[in-house]
Structure 1
Amino acid sequence: MFLGESLLKISSIASLTNFLSLVLQPRPVDPPGIFETPISNTYDYIVVGAGSAGSIVATRLSEDCANVLLLEAGGTDLDDERTQIPLMWFFLQGTAMDWGYWTVPQKFSHRAMKNERSYWARGKMIGGSSAMNAMGFVRGSRFDFEQWEREGATGWGYDKVLPYFKKLENAKLTDYGNCGNFILYLETRGKFGPIVVNQESATPLSFFHLKAAAEMNLPVIDCSDQNPRGICVTQSNIKNGTRCNSGNCYLRPALERQNLQILFRKNKAVGVEFVKDNKTIRVFAKKEVILSAGVIGSAQILLLSGIGPTEHLRQMNINVKSNLPVGKNMQDHLDFFLKYNINMSLNTNSENFATPRRILNFVFNKKGIFTGSGGDVNVFTHTCRKMNEGPNIQLTIIPTAYEKDAVEDLFLNLKNEVVKEHLKRVNSNSFQVILYILKPKSIRFTRRLEKTSAWKSINATYIRHDTPNHCSEIEYDSDDYWECMLRHFTRRGDHQMGTCRMGSVNDPSSVVDPRLRLVHYLEQIQE
């Protein structure tokens, strides 16, 4: 197989597939036997999880000549070439490379979804979720880092973490607007790191969005400015037309494929127990066990190892080793999709997505739509005009049409009666706005874009989302209407975090201290 065969399967072009399979080199694979390296009894460091952070941690530790074992429950991301083609990220959901989590039924939201649940995609492979996400690259606001430090995360203020952001990235940005001081933003961006960050819109629709933002006095900004307020062309971690995740760009050598559980002696992690080839293996660390299994995996491993809320562990018949609030601080941004019809074909739809021309442009030149994440622009703003806080909403505007496949998407999980109604409203000439509710006070800001002359020039018309028994009975555009819409149609934003909260050792909500050590371990030292 060669890189791009999955694109040809979508387009069903048999003759083109046969031709390219003969003239192109096979896609990259890991060297034979690289996952069968004998396992030692002890290592200096054991890193659990080869995801977004774990791959980086293991790589950096090994640079210092430390003996490092990196454990990963999934396999190599190269088993599925869609991990390498940026625009194919969505098709990885529900595959063997996805843990495939669902939330529990919600009491106050998700009312238009089957069983009131959201699907949580989490990467199960080298690179973790960084090997299957949409690659949107945004650092976050200075105000959030400063707040964390004030709450006890000493050393995690913005100025302290900025050098590491710069060390991480190789930013290749372009001025897309009339922002005269754009070069000042570049000074805060890294130029020599392993993660390549590019800035590029997917379609010409971005022109109209930039013009609409200018009418609303929103400047063109760098998405990763310390206090982003304005509009920015989508930035993505993509290198030479392929995904640049922590597995590809930090750590390409082989990593073990195992399930695991932490072992403890006297309330200190000394090693791990995992299953490989149907055999249970124990490995010990001379220095540290570093748990980096993701927002769900890290919490799960701690809980299974007896670290977590006492009452919950006892309900699960797990021996309690330390009473810590693991999982209590889990957070995510809700997102809300708004759809707009337009009067011209400037978007991405089922007819123009996988054309032979676009496929060949990617296969031979590593250029074109498949080398991007599929987004056009992002907008960050504060609806209450507060300058002493970070933005409270984020808009990600994507040129993807609202069509049949989008409505019937298994992972969107809409109820059958909602799907039936929405299929009457689809249009191949349309685009979508994803509203991420960061620190919400209002959602009406998004609809102000409809009043701009730029959006009016393409006749951008809002597609109503309400259906019978799902908000259509409430007065349209009233506050009650939008509250109802949020309770029925918002879902997970795939920005999950916080299950192992970092903070002061004196804060009862902390799981780890600012040096990322379990709080109970510090108590043992102090005793």
Structure 2
Amino acid sequence: MNCYDYIIVGAGSAGCVLARRLSEDRSTRVLLVEAGPPADDFWIRAPAGMGKLFRSEHYNWCFETEPVPTLRNRRIYWPRGKTLGGSSAINGMVYVRGHRRDFDHWRDLGNPGWGWDDVLPYFRRSVCRPGDTEKGSESHGLLTVSDPSVLHPAALAFVEAAQRTGLTRLDDFNEGEQEGVGLLRATIRNGVRQSTYDAFVAPIVARRPNLDIRTGAHVHRLLFAGVAATGIEAEIDGQIQRFHAAREVVLCAGALSSPHLLMLSGIGDAEQLRRHGIATVAHLPGVGKNLQDHFAVRVQARTTREGSYNQYLAGWRKYAAGARYLLTKGGYLALGSSIAAAFFRSGPQVAYADMEVSFRPMTVSYAGTSEAVVDDFPAISASVYRVRPDSRGEVILRSADPMQSPAFVPNYLHAPEDIGAMLAGLRRLRQILAMEPLASFVLEELVPGKEVRTDAQWIDYMEREGQCAFHPAGTCKMGNDRMAVVDARLRVQGVERLRVVDASIMPVVTSGNTNAPTIMIGEKGADMILADQRAASRAA
């Protein structure tokens, strides 16, 4: 009963796509295992519920980094989804594919088939947009990507103000060119969050008996016969169970957990594995290396009442907003984390936009609680981050105990180029805030405050207050050099019947939010697996 053709570890942004595609052949048995619980919660479905999920230990791994020397030895909080849908069930829902040059660069690094023209069909295959003449079908168009449900005046003012600083207005950030300003699209369908589980798996669960889903299944290690992956060992309800794969095991556990599971299973730097008493199956020193994330710095400003929607989500009015959402699935509770964004270059020497500003006409604080609480005064917030940082970190095995998380070392701002770019980005944001028509809404800058002017003051603020943008990637990078972990077909090097299909395979993180490209990786990875299986069958 525990034998399958394919075993997929992790029901996140890529794993759910794979489960859908690999199970389309009803003669193929597929197992999808997820460490977290089912995603049955009102606050997962309601887009505004992301604030309640930000530190929810039930649906969130709530990771923390090691102390970061460049950030005053602060530990940075890293939320990661722990439920069906993975991080797509708790994220800000922003859908940004990245710049065409991101993928052409992947191809030029020695990964044929990963250029923009190669991956664009996979992006398009996933998505259905309301109002499109060609609706989604059984084989594609499963994920709804929609425009903001409310066009707040401050968001429109941000777009116009950014245009007046020299940026071009873009109707869509997702067709390969990003430099400019515009409104963001989100994975929201009729006012309800669409995680990858909702879009790809939930509609087929009842009618695909060949797809088996196990939640609460914490995978301890992969099983091998020699160098061939044969299955997994997982803990379910306190019991250790083994599951066997006749064809392949596919890791989709994400940029933090996929390298961890590889190391626990004997794939990684042999010396590091030996220190923890783990026998080496394959010496791959790049496992866990090349960690990249978007380091974010926020600016907040108090506004006129018309410049923010805080007042509609605070005090007694939040109950009215809740009632409106329950009745219509509309209003402010149906919005994603950011409504508008601007992409621009930090300097003339940069080939294409390397900075992003994400804008929202509202602010939240935590005030010692585990939930984000909307402030009771009108204000706006924007986050600045370099979308292609030069700094690199790593995931380090801390113990052979699979229940102990590894050490996360992000090395934010380790590269001087990242500091210079962030300074340019923050100054550009201030220029936008000071430009009409947005300037008419702004009363005063709250964070960091107008007294912060010099480079030294800005750097001090970044070190004290900077956080992550929740986009870790790159820790099982695709390539053909000595630090590569998977090849261009996402097969783990040095072993057989094992692939990694998630954000960890990115050689360089994409220019923007990472959920959309991770879904694309799932689509392309599924096609590769099926094509290779057909080729093997013909050869046999």
State whether TM-score is above 0.5.
Answer: yes
CA deviations on 1:401-427 (whole Å, 9 max, x unpaired) are 35xx34656699xxxxxxxxxxxxx87
Residue in 2 that maps onto 1:145: 103
Residue in 2 that maps onto 1:465: 448
Residue in 1 that maps onto 2:142: 194
1:90 paired with 2:73, answer no
Is the alpha carbon distance of 1:523 and 1:245 closer, same or farther for their aligned partners in structure 2, counting shifts above 3 Å? Answer: closer
Deviation of the 1:83 alpha carbon: 0.6
Q: Which amino acid aligns with 2:383?
A: I
Q: What SS does structure 2 have at the residue aligned with 1:513?
A: coil
> Are the counterparts in 2 of residues 231 and 377 from structure 1 also a CA contact under 8 Å?
yes
Aligned equivalents of 1:454, 1:448: Cα separation in 2:
12
Q: What SS does structure 2 have at the residue aligned with 1:198?
A: coil
CA deviations on 1:446-502 (whole Å, 9 max, x unpaired) are 111133121222235322427xxxxx9xx8412222222222221111011111111
Residue in 1 that maps onto 2:362: 400
Residue in 1 that maps onto 2:488: 514
2:331 aligned residue (364, 368, 374):
368
Aligned equivalents of 1:235, 1:460: Cα separation in 2:
28
Residue in 1 that maps onto 2:122: 164
Q: Which amino acid aligns with 2:112?
A: T
TM alignment of 1:66-465, pairs within 5 A: 66-78=28-40, 80-95=41-56, 96-109=58-71, 111=72, 116-172=74-130, 193-200=141-148, 201=150, 203-221=152-170, 222-252=172-202, 253=205, 255-257=213-215, 258-260=217-219, 261-324=221-284, 325-349=286-310, 352-353=313-314, 355-385=318-348, 389-401=351-363, 405-406=365-366, 408=368, 428-439=377-388, 440=418, 441=421, 442-443=424-425, 444-465=427-448
Aligned equivalents of 2:337, 2:238: Cα separation in 1:
41
Deviation of the 1:321 alpha carbon: 1.7
Residue in 2 that maps onto 1:416: none
Q: Which amino acid aligns with 2:246?
A: K
Aligned equivalents of 2:497, 2:157: Cα separation in 1:
57
1:498 paired with 2:460, answer no
1:485 paired with 2:461, answer yes
> Are the counterparts in 2 of residues 502 and 514 from structure 1 also a CA contact under 8 Å?
yes
Unaligned runs of 5+ in 1: 1-39, 175-182, 413-425, 467-471
Over aligned residue pairs, what C-alpha RMSD do you find?
Answer: 2.6
Given the two structures, how large is their TM-score scaled by the length of structure 1?
0.79
Q: What SS does structure 2 have at the residue aligned with 1:269?
A: strand
Aligned residues: 441
Unaligned runs of 5+ in 2: 206-211, 389-417, 499-540
> Are the counterparts in 2 of residues 205 and 376 from structure 1 also a CA contact under 8 Å?
no
CA deviations on 1:256-279 (whole Å, 9 max, x unpaired) are 021112111112211111122332
Aligned equivalents of 2:459, 2:382: Cα separation in 1:
18
Aligned equivalents of 2:88, 2:155: Cα separation in 1:
25
Greater displacement, 193-202 / 239-248: 193-202
> Are the counterparts in 2 of residues 202 and 375 from structure 1 also a CA contact under 8 Å?
no
> Are the counterparts in 2 of residues 450 and 460 from structure 1 also a CA contact under 8 Å?
no
> Are the counterparts in 2 of residues 202 and 372 from structure 1 also a CA contact under 8 Å?
no
Q: What SS does structure 2 have at the residue aligned with 1:116?
A: coil
Q: Which amino acid aligns with 1:217?
A: G
Aligned equivalents of 2:64, 2:151: Cα separation in 1:
30
Deviation of the 1:445 alpha carbon: 1.4
CA deviations on 1:323-375 (whole Å, 9 max, x unpaired) are 21211111101000001122234313266445333222211111111111142
Q: What SS does structure 1 have at the residue aligned with 2:160?
A: helix
Q: What SS does structure 1 have at the residue aligned with 2:36?
A: coil
Larger radius of gyration: 1
For CA contacts below 8 A with separation 6 or more, give which structure has more relative contact order: 2
Given the two structures, how large is their TM-score scaled by the length of structure 2?
0.77
> Are the counterparts in 2 of residues 264 and 271 from structure 1 also a CA contact under 8 Å?
yes
Aligned equivalents of 1:155, 1:314: Cα separation in 2:
36
Residue in 1 that maps onto 2:2: 41
Aligned equivalents of 2:434, 2:306: Cα separation in 1:
21
